[in-house]
Chain A
Amino acid sequence: MNRSEPVVLVLLCGDLVGHRLDPHTLARQVMADAPAVTARVVPGLCAHLHRVTSAVRAATPRALVLALCERWQAQGEPEGYARRAGLSPLAVQVVPLGTLAGNDPSPMAKARALLSGAVARARALPPLTPEHIRPVPLGRGGRVGRRALLTLPPLTYQPVPVVEHGRCAAAQGCRICVAACPHRALAAIDDVVRVRRDACTACGRCLTACPREAIQMPGWSQAETAAQVTAALTHAPHRPLVWQCDRRPPSGGAWLPVPVSCAGAVTVAMLLQPLLLGAPAVALAHCGDGCRSGTGMAGTVEDRVAFCRALLAAMGQSPERVRLARATEELPVVDLPPLSAPVTPPAAGEPEGTARLITELVSVTAAPPLRLEHAASPLGEAVVDPAACTLCGSCAATCPTGALEYGEDDAGLTLRFDPRRCVACGQCVPACPERERGAIRVHAVTDTTLLNGGTRTVVRDAIVRCRRCGGPVASQAMLRRIADLLGSAFRPEVMAERCADCRGLP
C-alpha cells in the first residue's frame, strides 16, 4: 500500500447479519473497490462502541467509516470514541447500514454502494486546520445544574467555514455568502468576509453560494459530496438518489441517501448532476419546520426544485425526475429509466460547471435549444445597452465570477460577457453609474443558445487618446455622456484631449 495515500478504515458491525447483510463480504468488496482502504468486521460494534478507539489506534487511519446497524441517537458519540484515538472529528462518518439497506430488495448491492460512497467521501476529505472545527455541546438546550457547571459538558464538533481570502471577491463588493447565511454568521468588515464562529451552525449555505469556491468547510465540501455521489452511483447506477438533510431520519427504500449539512445548501447543479451519472431521479429531503436554517430554507429549496422540474419539462423529460420530500414525506417508488448512459459530469462547484452540466443534459436528451426565465435559475444574462453604457468598467470590476470582462485592444475598449460564468447575482447593476438609464440589467435565465455561444463582446467603443502622450483619455461614449451632463460647460480641449497622467503638460 502506498503510505502517501489517505488511508480509510471501515469498521462494520458484526450484527449487520441480523439486517440481511453479510459484513465480511462487504468488507472484502469495499477493500476491492478503492485503494488504501482497510475494512474490518467488529463483532457487536454497535453495543460496544468503545472498540472503535482501539481499532483506530491500531490502524492509524486518516478517516473512519463506521457501518452500524441503526442510526445512533447521540450522533456525536461514535465520533467521540474515534477522537480519543486521535482522529479528527470531521474524519468520521457513520452509516446506519442496517436501517438504510436492510429492507431493500437487494440489500447487499445497496450497502456496497453506500459504503463505497462513504469511503470516496472520506478519501476526498481536504486537509484540516484547527479553524475548521469548533466544539459544541453534545445534546442541546437542557438546563444545567450547579454541579454540572463545574464540569466540561460532553462535546461533539461541528465544521466551521473558513474563507480563503485569496480567492474571495469581497474586495470587489461581492456579498453573496453574507446574504446566503441565515444566521448572520458572516459579515464583511473592511471588505474582508469574517466568520462569527459562535453564530455559525454549519448549514453550509455559504459554501455552495460562493461562486468562487472561496469558502472551505471540510466535512461538507462539494468535492466530498461529489466524490460520494459518483462512487455510490458507480456501484448502483440505476438507483434514484436523495440529498438528505443530516438532521432528518434517513430515507429507506430504493433511494440512495447522500447526507448534506442542510437542504438549503443543495444547489441546482447538485440536483441535476446525479441524472448524468445514471440516477433516474433525484430528491431533496429537508428537515421541515424545525430547520436550523430558519424559515427561509423551505422557500429556497422549493424554488430550486421547481427550476429543475421546469428545466426537465422544457427538455421534454418528466419533471418527476427531480422532487422535493418535505419533513415527514416518504419517497415514492420510481419507475423511470435513466436519462442516459452514465457520463462524467463537470464538477458542480467550478465556475462554469453549472453551465456545462445543463448543456450536457440538453445534449444527452437531444432536447432543442431552450430558454427558461426563472427566479431560481443558477445562471443569468447581463443585458447591456450599448447606447447607455459608457464603458467605465465598473460592472466588470465588481463581477465576482469574471462573467463581465473589461478590456482594451488596438480597436478600442470592449466589454465582454460570458454567460457560462454569470450566476445572476446582480452585483453589477448597483455598481453601474448609468443604471438609471438602463445601461445594464440582469435576468435570471438559462438559455442554452447563449451558453453554447460562449463569450461575446457586448459593447465596443473607440478610445480617445491624449494629444500629447497618446495615453487613453476615455471612451468616446464616456466623453459624449460627460458632454451631455455638462452642456456648455464641457471643454473638449481640457477634458477630451488630455489624459489624466500627463495633463497635456510638456
Chain B
Amino acid sequence: MRGERVRLVHLARARQGLYRLLGAVFLPPQVESAAVMRAAAGLLERDLQRVCSLSFVPVWREFLAVLERVPPTIDRYLALFAAPADAVPLCASRYAGADAASQAAVVAAVQDTYRRAGLRARAQEPDHLATELEFLSFLCGQEVEARVQRAPRAVRDALERQLGFLDEHLCLWLPLLAARLARREPHGLYAAAAAAAWAVAVHDRDLLALLIRRDSLGVCP
C-alpha cells in the first residue's frame, strides 16, 4: 500500500516520544502539565502521521482528545492514585499478588533490568508506571541511536531489550491497570492514557518480535 514504507528510525523516535509522554501523564500533575503534554503531542504528530495505519494510533488519538477535554489535575490524581481506601496502584508489584515476597520479587526484577541497561532507579518506586514507561523510552532512544549509526548488532540488542522488558514487565500488569482505571473512570484522562499505553505496548511487543525474527532470518516471517 502506498505510503506505508516507514523508516524504522522514525518509528523508533515516535515510540520514544509516546512512551515518554505517557509516562509523564502518570506523574503528579503540575499547573503547566496539560500545556506541556499537548505541545509534546503536537511534536509527535509528524512522526505518527507516517504510521497512522498502525492499530494503536486510534487509541492514542482518543487519549489526545480526552487530554484536550480533561486536563490533568492534582485533585483527580490524588483521588485516583493516593486515596487511602480504594487507590488504583500505579506500581507493578501491587499487581503481583498480596504477599510481600512476590511484590519484592517484582521490584528486584525490574531493578535488575535497569541495572543491566546501565541505569539505577533513584525513584522510590522503581516499578512505578511512569518509571517503567520512561525506561522504555530510554530503550527506544538507544534503538534510534543505533539505527542512526547503522549498527545492526546494537539495533538487535536494543530491540531485544525492549521486547524483554515488555514481555517480562509492562505487558503483564498494564492490562490489569487499564481495566481498573476503565472501571473507575471510564471517560477519564487516566483511563484513556492507560488504554493508550496498553495499546502501544502490546503492539510494540508483537512488532518487535516480528522485526527481530525478520532481521535474524533475513526473510519476512
Q: Which residues of B contact A149 (CB under 8 A)?
A: 152, 214-215
Given A130-B198, A130-B202, decide whether A157 and B219 contact each other with a Cβ distance below 8 A. no
Interfacial chain B residues near A130, Cβ < 8 Å? 55-56, 59, 195, 198-199, 201-203
Tell yes or no: B31 within 8 A of A by CB. Answer: no
Instruction: Please tell me if B58 contacts chain A, counting CB pairs below 8 Å.
Output: yes
A131-171 contacts to B, CB under 8 A, are: 131, 133-144, 149-155, 157
Q: Which residues of B have CB within 8 Å of A80?
A: 1, 4, 53
CA distance A77 to B1 in the complex (A): 6
Contact partner of B11 among A88, A129, A140, A152, CB < 8 A? A152
**A335, CB-defined interface residue at 8 Å:** no
Query: With A137-B221, A141-B219 in contact, is A152–B4 under 8 Å at CB?
Result: yes
Does B6 contact A151, Cβ atoms closer than 8 Å? Answer: yes
Please name all residues of chain A whose beta carbon is closer than 8 Å to the beta carbon of B46 when the two chains form the complex: none
Q: Output the nearest chain A residue to B51 by Cβ-Cβ distance.
A: A152
Determine whether A278 belongs to the interface, using a CB cutoff of 8 Å to chain B.
no
* Complex contacts, B207 vs chain A, CB 8 Å: 135, 155
The contact of A140 among B52, B55, B203, B221, by CB within 8 Å, is: B221
- With A130-B199, A135-B55 as known contacts, state yes or no: A81 contacts B219, CB within 8 Å: no
Binary flags per residue of A299-315, CB closer than 8 Å to B gives 1, else 0: 00000000000000000
- Given known A86-B57, A143-B218, A144-B219, contact A154–B11 (CB-CB < 8 A): no
Decide if B219 touches A143 in the complex (CB within 8 Å).
yes
- Report the interface size for chain A: residues with CB under 8 A from the other chain: 36
Residues in A with CB closer than 8 Å to B168 are: none
Alpha-carbon gap, A152 to B6, bound state (A) = 5
**B122 within 8 Å of A by Cβ?**
no
Contact assessment for A88 and B55 in the assembled complex, using a CB-CB cutoff below 8 Å: yes
Judge whether B210 is part of the interface by a CB distance below 8 angstroms.
yes
* Bound-complex Cα distance A278 to B99 (A): 58
Residues of A within 8 A of B4 (CB): 80, 152, 154-155
The answer to whether A84 has its CB under 8 Å from any CB of chain B is yes
The interface centre, meaning the residue of B9, B52, B61, B152 with most chain A CB atoms within 10 A of its CB, is B52
Cα distance, A58 to B54, chains bound together (Å): 19
Q: In whole angstroms, what is the CA distance A143 to B218 when docked?
A: 6
Interface residues of B in 139-191 (CB under 8 A from A): 147, 152, 175
How near does chain B come to A244, taking the closest CB pair, in angstroms?
26
Taken together as a complex, chains A and B put the C-alpha atoms of A411 and B145 apart, in Å, by: 76
Measured between alpha carbons, how far is A74 from B195 in the docked complex, in Å? 31
A198: interface (CB < 8 Å): yes
Asked if residues A135 and B7 are in contact (CB atoms below 8 Å), the reply is no
Q: Is the interface of B mostly helix, strand, loop or mixed?
A: helix
**Is A441 part of the binding interface, using a Cβ–Cβ cutoff of 8 Å?**
no
Q: Which residue of A lies closest to B50 (CB)?
A: A152
Return A189 CB to nearest CB of chain B, in Å. Answer: 13
Residues of A within 8 A of B55 (CB): 83, 88-89, 130, 133, 135, 157
- B residues near A144, Cβ cutoff 8 Å: 214, 218-220
Shortest B113–chain A CB gap in Å is 21
Inter-chain contacts of A24 with B (CB < 8 A): none
What residues of A have a CB within 8 angstroms of the CB of B202 in the complex?
A: 130-131, 134
Query: Are B210 and A137 within 8 A (Cβ)?
Result: yes
A182-214 vs B, Cβ < 8 Å mask (1 yes, 0 no): 000000000000000110000000000000000
Structural contact, B220 and A86, CB atoms closer than 8 A: no
Bound-state Cα–Cα, A155 to B215, Å: 16
Known contacts: A80-B1, A151-B7. The answer to whether A135 contacts B219 by CB under 8 A is no
Using A130-B56, A142-B219, A154-B4 as known contacts, say yes or no to A197 and B206 having CB atoms under 8 A apart. yes
**A166 CB to nearest chain B CB (Å):** 12
- A74, A155, A197 — which one has the most chain B CB atoms within 10 A of its CB? A155
Taking the closest CB of chain A, its distance from the CB of B16, in whole angstroms, is: 15
Cβ-defined partner of A154 (8 Å) among B1, B7, B201: B1
Q: Which of A149, A151, A152, A157 has the largest count of B CB atoms less than 10 A from its CB?
A: A152
- Which residue on B lies nearest to A77, using beta carbons? B1
> Counting CB contacts under 8 A, is B8 at the interface?
yes
Contact B220 A137 (CB under 8 A): yes
CB distance from B197 to the nearest CB of A (A): 10
Q: A83-B55, A88-B58, A144-B218 are in contact. Are A136 and B7 (CB under 8 A)?
A: no
Residues of A396-414 at the interface with B, using a CB-CB cut-off of 8 Å, are: none
Give the residues in chain B near A89, CB-CB below 8 Å. Answer: 55
Which chain A residues border B213 with CB–CB below 8 Å? 198
In the A-B complex, the 8 residue pairs with the smallest Cβ-Cβ separation, listed nearest first, are A86-B58, A134-B206, A130-B202, A130-B199, A83-B53, A152-B6, A137-B220, A84-B53
Query: Could you name 11 residue pairs across A and B whose Cβ atoms are closer than 8 Å?
Result: A81-B1, A89-B55, A130-B59, A130-B201, A137-B210, A137-B220, A137-B221, A150-B8, A152-B11, A154-B1, A155-B4
